[in-house]
Structure 1
């Protein structure tokens, strides 16, 4: 095989591998960030649930407003 063709093939392979690797790295970074956000939101929701469970009147008021919003939406 011609040396120029071989060098061109190696350069193209290197470029494609770099692009693929960068894409995977970006995907993993975004995935990790989203996992962190989901964990933070889950913790926040659990905090709200805990507050609602600790106060019966507050929970009833919350349910009443939630039901009103569901009807109007």
Structure 2
């Protein structure tokens, strides 16, 4: 009977560990999903602002292109 108790105990510990791991990953997924939602909302807001003013959008695009060119130069591309 001692062997059966050891087996049951081992199974219980493995199950508890699996539940803890699954819960941890569920929480991390939910947090990442919430952060993703906030980032998308902010990006949408930036896009709405840029879409509302053509001159601002052109300035943004020009500056973004300059930054990319500088990045390429510093990375040897």
Band of TM-score, shorter chain: over 0.9
Q: How many residues align?
A: 71
Determine the structure 2 residue equivalent to 1:43.
Answer: 41
> Which whole-Å CA distance do the structure 1 matches of 2:13 and 2:28 have between them?
22
Unaligned stretches of 5+ residues in structure 2: 72-77
1:14-70, CA deviations, whole angstroms, 9 ceiling, x for partnerless residues? 000000010000100100110000011000000000000001111111001000011
Q: TM-score, normalised by structure 1?
A: 0.95
Q: TM-score, normalised by structure 2?
A: 0.90
Cα RMSD, aligned residues only = 0.5
* 1:33-72 equivalent positions in 2, closer than 5 A: 33-72=31-70
Q: 2:19 pairs with 18, 21, 26, which one?
A: 21
